[in-house]
Chains A and B, each alone.
Chain A
Amino acid sequence: MSTAANTMFEGGRAAPAVASTTGELFDRELILKYMAAGAFWLVFAPTIGAIVSIKFNYYDFLGHVSWLTWGRLRPVHVMGVVFGGFSTAVIGLTYFIVPRLCGVPMYKPRWGHHIFWMWNIALIVGFVSLMLGYNSGIEAGEFPIWVSIPVEIVLCMLSIQVVVTIKRRTEPRIYVSLWYMSSAYIWTAMNYAFGHFILPFYMPGVNNAAMHGLYIHYVVGLWITPAGLAVAYYFLPLAAKRPLYSHKLSLVGFWSLAFFYPFVGTHHYIYSPIPYWTQTIAIVASMMLIIPVWTVIQNFYGTFVGGWKNFQDSYPAKFIVIGALYYLLGCFQGSTEALREMQRLTHFTDFVIGHSHLTVFGTFVIWATAGMYWVTPRLARRELYSKNLAQWHYWLTVAGFSVMAGDLTLQGMLQGTMLQAGTDFVESMVAMKPYWIIRSLAGITMDVGAALGFWNLYMTIQHGKAIPVPAGAPADYLPEPKWS
């Protein structure tokens, strides 16, 4: 690690026992770097989202500068949340979770540092490129090719690291987080190549639309979902201080997701020229996702039964539990939304945007946040800088996000009903104005919460009260912070 980076994490005073990484199972400084970068992107990308949402209320807001127009900023928001905030945090957590579950250090540990710089520089170049108008035209795959190449290299390197580390493990059994984690990287290395190197160049017309439906849902279902579940499954029993409810359920959840999700994507194109039977398969697969989702929910809440005291005393536990609630709501919404009758009502309305926020942010970003709260004080060996800031982070997120998700869902239903009743499209837009204002205010509330929370984590690394390390403690000793 560079001297500059070391200085960054040691803060103004001597860091307590942030020792050399030699002999440790995982690289604490590397993971903390990822947490800091993930925190930055998790403030940056939602803030862009809030700016974009204001454009619905004031159509010429920042509209006179080409690189701040809606069409340029919206992909920065989406790609920023998915690949910037969520993915950066998850990659960092991968370097913690995988060695801890395998009992061996990560394969090629130095790659983690190379990946850190390659990944974050690619993101910066990607967002600048999007704002300059370079866009591949594939939703959720908008990065131009000069960004996609390093991103693909990173995904391949991570896949190799995770798989080889699992192969070298000393722990005989493979915990469910490793199934999800390894699958997420392998699936995404393939899907990213498909979405960025094949789809924009070699598939014209309706086929492109159908395949794009698959690509975008593979981003959600074969990256965000399994990576988020890997994180949640890892930290859930630790945060609850209880055994995981059921190994059997985790098997059912994983394999049903792996079986049904690949067919889901075409539900974006119901009532389109795509063959009717492919639409039907997509609808069926979407509904069948009720199985993995309800299975995960039973496993999560079953784990917490009898351990709710730990929920009150732990911010990671709070974020996991509220994320699980949003997961249940968001995925049920997504499954039923695929039905033809629901599509007729909700397509081209903000109901869809409500669903995507409930799942991507409400569930998976919140679970990644839980992981960040769990590891940051332990790896920095410092108490949380401020419990008040953590409380504000949690409650502003819950309040802002609940209002936003409810608002978008309601306005989507309302607009859909108006359009079905024959209301003019422009009139239906005018009727949406109050809802858009509420959405912006709710989004700003969430952003303020996120900024406070991630500032808190950064200050924990820099200036949190040192937790004494017992004499003779192993190099990878993890202290227990006091949450309350």
Chain B
Amino acid sequence: MSDKDTHSESISRYEPSGIEERHGIIPLWLAIVYAVMFVWMVWYTIAFWTDKG
């Protein structure tokens, strides 16, 4: 297991609530959603800045 994997699997515990939390990752499918949404945002903002477009 690489350092990166170990880091993402590391668990923090919050006292006194007892809540535990993985450092975690951003899954690939979600990273793709972020990228697609960002591209769409730029395109839509430019294309529809005025009603002349």
* Chain A residues within CB distance 8 Å of chain B: 25, 97, 100-101, 103, 171, 173, 175, 234, 237-238, 242-250, 252, 276-277, 280-281, 283-284, 287-288, 290-291, 294-295, 298-299, 302, 340
- CB within 8 Å of A: which B8-50 residues: 8, 11-12, 14-27, 30, 33-34, 37, 40-41, 44-45, 48-50
Complex CA distance for A276 and B53, rounded to whole angstroms: 11
Among the listed A97, A234, A237, which residue makes an inter-chain contact with B20, where contact means beta carbons less than 8 Å apart? Answer: A237
Q: In the bound complex, do residue A294 and residue B48 qualify as a contact, i.e. CB atoms below 8 Å apart?
A: no
CB distance from B37 to the nearest CB of A (A): 6
Closest to B47 in A: A280
Chain A residues whose C-beta falls within 8 Å of the C-beta of B8 in the assembled complex: 248
Q: Any chain A CB within 8 A of the CB of B51? A: yes
8 tightest A-B CB contacts, nearest first: A246-B24, A243-B20, A244-B21, A100-B17, A280-B48, A276-B51, A248-B24, A243-B22
Q: In the bound complex, do residue B25 and residue A246 qualify as a contact, i.e. CB atoms below 8 Å apart?
A: yes
- Given the interface contacts A243-B22, A244-B22, A287-B41, does A277 sit within 8 Å of B34 by beta carbon? no
Q: List 10 A-B contacts (CB under 8 A).
A: A100-B16, A101-B19, A238-B18, A243-B22, A246-B23, A247-B23, A248-B8, A276-B50, A288-B37, A291-B33
Q: Which of B8, B16, B25, B41 has the most CB of A within 10 A?
A: B16
- Given the interface contacts A173-B12, A252-B26, does A234 sit within 8 Å of B19 by beta carbon? yes
Complex CA distance for A298 and B50, rounded to whole angstroms: 36
Complex CA distance for A246 and B10, rounded to whole angstroms: 10
Complex CA distance for A284 and B51, rounded to whole angstroms: 15
Complex CA distance for A293 and B7, rounded to whole angstroms: 25
Among the listed B15, B17, B25, B33, which residue makes an inter-chain contact with A290, where contact means beta carbons less than 8 Å apart? Answer: B33
CB distance from A316 to the nearest CB of B (A): 14
- Given the interface contacts A252-B26, A290-B33, does A238 sit within 8 Å of B19 by beta carbon? yes
Complex CA distance for A250 and B12, rounded to whole angstroms: 14
Q: In the bound complex, do residue A101 and residue B17 qualify as a contact, i.e. CB atoms below 8 Å apart?
A: yes
Among the listed B15, B22, B33, B49, which residue makes an inter-chain contact with A245, where contact means beta carbons less than 8 Å apart? Answer: B22
| Residues of B contacting A: mostly | mixed
Q: In the bound complex, do residue B37 and residue A246 qualify as a contact, i.e. CB atoms below 8 Å apart?
A: no
Q: In the bound complex, do residue A277 and residue B15 qualify as a contact, i.e. CB atoms below 8 Å apart?
A: no
> Beyond A173-B12, A248-B24, A249-B24: 14 further Cβ-contacts under 8 Å?
A101-B19, A175-B14, A237-B21, A238-B19, A242-B20, A243-B21, A245-B22, A245-B24, A248-B25, A276-B48, A283-B44, A287-B41, A294-B33, A302-B24
- Given the interface contacts A234-B17, A277-B50, A280-B49, does A247 sit within 8 Å of B26 by beta carbon? no
Chain A residues whose C-beta falls within 8 Å of the C-beta of B30 in the assembled complex: 249, 294-295, 298
Chain B residues whose C-beta falls within 8 Å of the C-beta of A250 in the assembled complex: 21
Chain A residues whose C-beta falls within 8 Å of the C-beta of B21 in the assembled complex: 175, 237, 243-244, 247, 250
Closest to B50 in A: A276
Among the listed B19, B26, B34, which residue makes an inter-chain contact with A246, where contact means beta carbons less than 8 Å apart? Answer: B26
Q: In the bound complex, do residue B49 and residue A276 qualify as a contact, i.e. CB atoms below 8 Å apart?
A: yes
Complex CA distance for A103 and B18, rounded to whole angstroms: 11
Q: In the bound complex, do residue B24 and residue A103 qualify as a contact, i.e. CB atoms below 8 Å apart?
A: no
CB distance from B41 to the nearest CB of A (A): 5
Q: In the bound complex, do residue A281 and residue B19 qualify as a contact, i.e. CB atoms below 8 Å apart?
A: no
Q: In the bound complex, do residue A244 and residue B19 qualify as a contact, i.e. CB atoms below 8 Å apart?
A: yes
Complex CA distance for A245 and B34, rounded to whole angstroms: 19
Complex CA distance for A234 and B17, rounded to whole angstroms: 9
Chain B residues whose C-beta falls within 8 Å of the C-beta of A100 in the assembled complex: 16-17
Q: Which of A244, A281, A294 has the most CB of B within 10 A?
A: A244
- Given the interface contacts A244-B19, A247-B21, A249-B26, does A277 sit within 8 Å of B37 by beta carbon? no
Chain A residues whose C-beta falls within 8 Å of the C-beta of B34 in the assembled complex: 291
Chain B residues whose C-beta falls within 8 Å of the C-beta of A298 in the assembled complex: 27, 30
Q: In the bound complex, do residue B19 and residue A175 qualify as a contact, i.e. CB atoms below 8 Å apart?
A: yes
Q: In the bound complex, do residue A248 and residue B40 qualify as a contact, i.e. CB atoms below 8 Å apart?
A: no
